[in-house]
Amino acid sequence: MKIIRHPGRIIIWLSVCALLAACSSGSSAPQKQVDIDATGQPVSSNYVTSRAVIKPYLGATVPAKGMSRKDPVTGVKITRLTDASELDETSDALIVYSRYSPENSSGDYFLAFGGNSFSCWVIERGTGKVLHKLQHTANKGIGEYHEVRWDLTGNHPNRVYYRYDAALYMVDDVSAENLQSTLVKDFSGLIPAQSTLVYNDVEGDSSNDSDHWAFMAAHYNGATYVVDAFVHYQISTDTTHLLMPAELAGTNLDHYAGASTFPRPNMVEISPLGTGIVLHYGRAWGDTSYGERPSDIGTWFDGPHLWPLDFNVADKTPVKISVGETHSGWSFAADGRELFISQNNRTDYLDAVYVTGENAGYDNRIAFGSHKDYGWALGFHFGKMPATKTGWAFVNTYAKSTTNDWGANQLVLMQLKPETQKPVLWRVGPNYNNYSGDYRDEAPAAMNMLGNRIYVSTNWGGKLDHREVFLFELPDDWASHF
Is the residue at 363 inside a domain? Answer: yes
Residue type, 175: S
Q: What is the DSSP letter of 145?
A: G
CA distances from 293 to 222, 253, 268 (A): 22, 12, 19
Is the residue at 184 inside a domain? Answer: no
| CB-based contact 50:24 (threshold 8 Å) | yes
Is the residue at 6 inside a domain? Answer: yes
Is the residue at 442 inside a domain? Answer: yes
- Half-sphere CA count of 266, side-chain side, radius 13 A: 16
Chunked in runs of 10, what are the mean pLDDT values of the chain (482 residues)?
Answer: 32 36 39 47 92 96 96 97 97 95 98 97 97 95 97 97 98 96 98 98 96 98 97 98 98 97 97 98 80 90 98 98 96 97 97 98 98 96 97 97 94 97 97 94 96 98 97 97 94
Q: How many domains does the chain have?
A: 1
Cα gap 390→415, rounded to integer Å: 9
Cα gap 98→357, rounded to integer Å: 26
Q: What are residue 243's DSSP bridge partners?
A: 230
Amino acid 1: pLDDT: 33
Q: Which residues contact 290 (CB under 8 A, 6 or more apart)?
A: none
Report helix, strand or coil for 76: coil
Q: What are residue 472's DSSP bridge partners?
A: 78, 454
φ and ψ at 301, to 5 degrees?
-100, 10
Q: Which residues contact 222 (CB under 8 A, 6 or more apart)?
A: none
Amino acid 63: pLDDT: 97
Burial class (CB in 10 A: 0-12, 13-18, 19+), 107: middle
Is the residue at 231 inside a domain? Answer: no
Amino acid 55: pLDDT: 95
Cα gap 1→14, rounded to integer Å: 29
> In degrees, to the nearest 5, what angle opens at C-alpha 87 toward C-alphas 84 and 91?
50
Cα gap 375→424, rounded to integer Å: 17
Burial class (CB in 10 A: 0-12, 13-18, 19+), 118: middle
Provide the H-helix boundaries in 45-185.
none
Q: Which residues contact 447 (CB under 8 A, 6 or more apart)?
A: 101, 383, 384, 385, 386, 394, 453, 454, 455
User: Residue 476's Cα: distance from chain center in Å?
Assistant: 20
Query: Beta-carbon neighbour count of residue 266 at 10 Å?
Result: 17
Residue type, 333: A
Q: What are residue 234's DSSP bridge partners?
A: 212, 239
Report helix, strand or coil for 100: coil
Amino acid 290: pLDDT: 58
Amino acid 40: pLDDT: 61
Cα gap 94→96, rounded to integer Å: 5
Q: Which residues contact 195 (CB under 8 A, 6 or more apart)?
A: 166, 188, 217, 218, 219, 228, 229
Is the residue at 65 inside a domain? Answer: yes
Is the residue at 477 inside a domain? Answer: yes
CA dihedral 171, 83, 105, 49 (to 10 degrees): -150
Owning domain of residue 479:
1-80+321-482
Q: What is the DSSP letter of 435?
A: B
pTM of the complete model: 0.92
Residue type, 35: D
Cα gap 280→340, rounded to integer Å: 12
Sign of CA dihedral 343, 469, 278, 200: positive
Is the residue at 250 inside a domain? Answer: no
